[in-house]
Amino acid sequence: MDSKVALVTGAARNLPAVIARELAAAGAAVAVNDITAEEELREVVRAIQEEGSRGMMVMADVCRRDQLEEIVAQVKGDLGTIDILVNSAGSFAGGSWLELPEESWDRVMDTNLKAIYLLTQLVAPDMKEKGWGRIINISAGSADYRNTSVYGLAKSALRFLTQSLALELGPAITVNAISPGQIAESAPDVSAFDTTLVERAIKHTPIGRLVTRREIARMVVLLCSPAFDSVTGQTIRMDGGWSIPRW
């Protein structure tokens, strides 16, 4: 991917940061975005540059079209037109529907859906002109369950949006989603509010462990490779078989 330029949203930490570094390791120039974590974003850029790739940071609220227009222009000016868009920013909110604040609904729906629609409008024309583009959305296992509140709703709708965009943007651009299960590196944080969740998740998972951030990041790179040229509109579940239907 030496000639490719990628933009990864929400990339100051956790899974998006690992995705950005993995794309850089594969040779892509990578722009990383976040809204507030400026110093952490600088660290990600430094890591990208240590991989021998070009990197830059672009601070912006992914729910604001005016700010997105600015960062797309910045990336174009510094790295070139965007070939790969990884939509990995996505706010979380849970709890009771009857007690869910309106602002939480708005933020979750906007970061997980509106941001993708806005960014796609901004980057797809250049991808189409070049005849090649990859859009990868990060969904979640929460989309499969009806007790995960507005977050699960947004991640479920994201799968619908992924398929719809794949129909509209082909053949030049493929659009896919990755749906991770519980991620190993996030297990300590999860255990803080549910001490049995991780143990139950591992017991329920056929491979006997949780998926790692690096494994998910590698799948992002694979989706950008010629091996996946014929794959579009798909949601790839990476949960070790946890979501397989059972009696």
pLDDT tens digits, one per residue of 138-190: 999 888 877 778 999 999 999 999 999 999 999 999 999 999 998 998 876 66
- For the chain, the domains span 5-182+214-238
Inter-residue contact 6 to 82 (CB < 8 Å): yes
- Residue 117 falls in the annotated catalytic set: no
Pick the CATH number of 5-182+214-238 from 3.30.920.30, 3.40.50.720, 3.30.565.10, 3.40.50.1950: 3.40.50.720
> Could you read off the pLDDT of 56-84 as tens digits, one per residue?
999 999 999 999 999 999 999 999 999 99
**What is the reported pTM?**
0.94
Query: Whole-angstrom Cα distance, residue 145 to residue 152?
Result: 7
* 100 close to 47: Cβ distance less than 8 angstroms: no
Phi and psi for 141 in degrees, rounded to 5? -60, -20
Tokens of 219: 């799948």
Reply yes or no: is the peptide bond before residue 226 cis, omega within 30 of 0. Answer: no
- What are the backbone dihedrals phi and psi of residue 238, each rounded to the nearest 5 degrees, phi first? -125, 80
Question: Could you count the other beta carbons within 10 Å of the beta carbon of residue 73?
Answer: 12
- Distance between CA atoms of residues 161 and 159, nearest Å: 5
Cα torsion 220, 223, 225, 230 to 10°: value is: 180
Reduce the DSSP state of residue 10 to 3 states and report it: coil
- Residue 209 near residue 240 (C-beta atoms within 8 A): yes
pLDDT, tens digit (0-9, with 9 covering 90-100), for 139-151: 998 888 777 789 9
Active-site pick, 18, 26, 84, 151: 151
- Over residues 25-51, mean pLDDT: 95
| Better-scored residue on pLDDT, 193 or 18 | 18
